[in-house]
Chains A and B, each alone.
Chain A
Amino acid sequence: MPPENSDSKKAHSSQRHSEPPLKNLAAALPVETADSLNEQATLETALGLDESNATNRELVRLPKEQPRNPDELEERRRSDVNEWGRSEHMREIARRVYDPIYRRWFRVEWEGLEKIPPGGALLVANHAAAIPSDAPVIMHGIETELNRPVYGLADDFFRTIPVVGTLWNRLGGLPAHPDNAYRLLREQDQLVLVFPEGTKGPSKTYNERYQLRRFGRGGFVEIAMRAGVPVIPIAVVGAEESMPTLFRIPSVARALGVPYLPVTANMLLAGPLGLVSYFPSKFKLKVLDPVYFDVPADRERYSRSRVMDESEAIRDHIQAALYKMLRERRSVWFG
């Protein structure tokens, strides 16, 4: 549509709506239409009756509910689940439960947290451990250290698991859809965490640890460009050893309809409990320099080669940082 057209419409109708609030909804909203059209609401029927007793001849005349003033859309909610499904109440419980794990078990250490700028930013990290331990660490860490919520984008497979999917959503997880990321970053200046390796990261076996997989098709770069926000790479050391995958059983995974089915060292040692218990590896996270893209936001498409180049550069950057951190690491358990 031509923009001037929509503007004039907007002006016209906002003027219309600034008139006194509607008083009567007796006959299913005609009043508003009539009001706006020169008070010509002479709603007399052919019978010569006026509308108040003509529209409905009910035994008991029920008064219609009065419409409220649209400016006061006050709400009485029963829960604090926000528009993304995140609940601050659930988050608070999770923080209390998770904090000891974060501080005592993984003994998380951050470096360069000050590099996260105010405003929207897309956090990008390497992804590891059969049931990834890095997402909660990053989300909890930034939330407690910087006092900012982090929305984690995950494979939509998560959402199909009963209880887990709902919990994940209440704790700030979302299906990885570009629309979700765009809205959070562009319109709401939030922090969004994404793992561009996708399931290829956590599904890799222990002998391939800290070797980054392909960064998808660079979709995360495109999202950041479109939203006009920087990408902030984060290198995570420690997640790989918290739940190392020894081997995978692709045939069973296919039969169960899951993306991958790992057999982890934790399972061998603790049986089914291994699904929920991590080894106490020492976590070190390093926030790398933000990457700003010098392109206009809100474009329909961006140069594919540029997107792939940026994606590859960020991947290399994280990979190099990981190697550096691993060279300096003396022990898996003590850092």
Chain B
Amino acid sequence: MASQPPIPIRLARRATDAVDIDPDGPRRRVLVTGLGTFWGGRVAQALEANPAVEVIVGLDTTEPTIELERTEYVRVDANYSILSRIVQATRVDTIIHTFLVMDPTQMSQRAMHEINVIGTMNLFAAASAAGSTVNNVIVKSSTMVYGCAPEDPVWFTESTPRSRPPKESIERSIEAVEGYVRDFAEDNPHVNVALLRFSNVIGSELETPLTRLLQLPVVPSIFGFDPRFQFVHEDDVIKSILFAFDNDLPGVFNVAGDGLLPWSEVAALCGKRTVALPPIGTGWLTTPLRQFGLLDLPAEYEGLLKYGRGVDNHRLKNFGFRYEHTSTQAVEAFIRAVRLRKVVGENEPSYRYERDVEQFFRHSPAVRRDRRQA
């Protein structure tokens, strides 16, 4: 696993020393996994604005894609074999684990297993090692863990067990991850663990199997079924992670917008027609289509296109969280973003991570980091 020599970590002591802070408030040292992903990057970006956060260390296999000011990026291998050293060295108190692959179409099963299961295992091994300073863990999971079956309730609460054992690798993988989270929470009662289960995320930027389906010329459905879908806007996802961070939320929380939308209505909102796939042998038909790259419908979504899934979001709301979007509004935000992209094209940010430059700005004595002067 030591193919890449770990980059020695030097903390941005000087940079943070200059930040004027509330002397009474505790300063938090945060580790964010998946810094190069959409979620990790945006969470780190938001945390940087929080003066109560002293240190942000971001791990990933790939470089960050958004510009970060004081987050320390550490390149690691997919399953974090050097993690315990990082935790020891940085003495982080909070781990925000966003690096979980929920989209099985993007990589092989094996790669996904390495990232999700082995990565989480190592993460928690490091967090529960002797002398660990971690006392807060936030994990970004998915409502996929509830599965999808005809005997499901319309609304899953956090304690409803899934109806059938998981079949697809992504579901098994998420279930294994949640198993590690549970074990960790049980073995370390002094650590506050928040497990956030996100529903189908949609919004202006993120790409998921569902957003790809909704951008096809015609939207596939399954004949005779009009399942109901729940969505959560990407901003609400970030907001809920920060909410869990600020309030030290304990336990499991569903994060999903209000309301369930029939798939036909989602397609209608997008201004698309649906085309019905046969209800029997759907897999036989979609596999060749997938081979030709015409349709990217992972097996988990076939169940979803029949029965849908709804989760109860009251628990998080009862703690005071306010959503900015309902399911419908999340879809509408997505549609507006698609319309705009159609006209102006992909608006790729031009930021590219340059290690030397980033190191310079963080650590060079030549850079003035006094934040109070401006």
Listed in ascending order, the chain A residues whose CB lies under 8 Å from chain B are 1, 6, 9-14, 16-17, 25, 27-34, 36-38, 40-48, 50, 54-60, 62, 65, 67-68, 70, 73, 75-79, 81, 83-85, 156-157, 159-166, 174-175, 177-180, 183
A-B contact count (CB 8 A): 204
Q: Which residues does chain B contribute within 8 Å of A46, judged by CB atoms?
A: 15, 69-70, 361-362, 367-369
Q: Which of the residues B156, B251, B307 comes within 8 Å of A159, measured between beta carbons?
A: B307
Q: Which residues does chain B contribute within 8 Å of A70, judged by CB atoms?
A: 322-324
Q: Please determine whether A30 and B371 come into contact, CB atoms closer than 8 angstroms.
A: no
Q: Please determine whether A10 and B318 come into contact, CB atoms closer than 8 angstroms.
A: yes
Contacts A38-B22, A85-B154, A162-B224 given; does A25 touch B235 at CB 8 Å: yes
Contacts A54-B67, A79-B265, A85-B154 given; does A32 touch B318 at CB 8 Å: no
Q: Which residues does chain A contribute within 8 Å of B225, judged by CB atoms?
A: 162, 165-166
In the complex, residue of chain A having the shortest beta-carbon distance to the beta carbon of B50: A33
Which residues 317-374 in B have Cβ within 8 Å of A in the complex?
Answer: 318-326, 328-329, 332-333, 336, 340, 344, 347-351, 361-362, 367-369, 371-372, 374
Task: Determine the distance from Cα of A12 to Cα of B372 in the docked complex, in whole angstroms.
Answer: 29
Task: Determine the distance from Cα of A47 to Cα of B367 in the docked complex, in whole angstroms.
Answer: 8
Q: Which of the residues A42, A56, A65 comes within 8 Å of B374, measured between beta carbons?
A: A42
Contacts A17-B320, A30-B49, A62-B347 given; does A40 touch B154 at CB 8 Å: no
Q: Please determine whether A56 and B349 come into contact, CB atoms closer than 8 angstroms.
A: yes
Least CB distance from B340 to A in Å reads 7
Contacts A30-B46, A46-B361 given; does A77 touch B323 at CB 8 Å: no
Extra pairs beyond A81-B261, A83-B259 (16, CB < 8 Å):
A9-B247, A13-B320, A17-B320, A29-B42, A29-B235, A32-B242, A46-B368, A57-B350, A62-B344, A67-B235, A75-B329, A78-B265, A159-B150, A162-B223, A166-B224, A175-B152
Q: Please determine whether A73 and B349 come into contact, CB atoms closer than 8 angstroms.
A: no
Q: Please determine whether A75 and B320 come into contact, CB atoms closer than 8 angstroms.
A: no
Task: Determine the distance from Cα of A30 to Cα of B260 in the docked complex, in whole angstroms.
Answer: 29
Q: Which residues does chain A contribute within 8 Å of B319, judged by CB atoms?
A: 6, 9-10, 13
Task: Determine the distance from Cα of A25 to Cα of B42 in the docked complex, in whole angstroms.
Answer: 12
Q: Please determine whether A34 and B49 come into contact, CB atoms closer than 8 angstroms.
A: yes
Q: Which residues does chain B contribute within 8 Å of A174, judged by CB atoms?
A: 154
Q: Which of the residues A13, A29, A68 comes within 8 Å of B238, measured between beta carbons?
A: A29
B52 within 8 A of A: yes
What are 12 A-B pairs with beta-carbon distances under 8 A? Answer: A27-B46, A32-B239, A37-B50, A43-B49, A46-B15, A47-B367, A54-B67, A59-B347, A75-B328, A81-B260, A175-B150, A179-B154
Task: Determine the distance from Cα of A162 to Cα of B226 in the docked complex, in whole angstroms.
Answer: 9
Q: Which residues does chain B contribute within 8 Å of A9, judged by CB atoms?
A: 247, 249, 319-320
B66 within 8 A of A: yes
B129 within 8 A of A: no
B300 within 8 A of A: no
Q: Please determine whether B155 and A183 come into contact, CB atoms closer than 8 angstroms.
A: yes
Task: Determine the distance from Cα of A84 to Cα of B260 in the docked complex, in whole angstroms.
Answer: 9
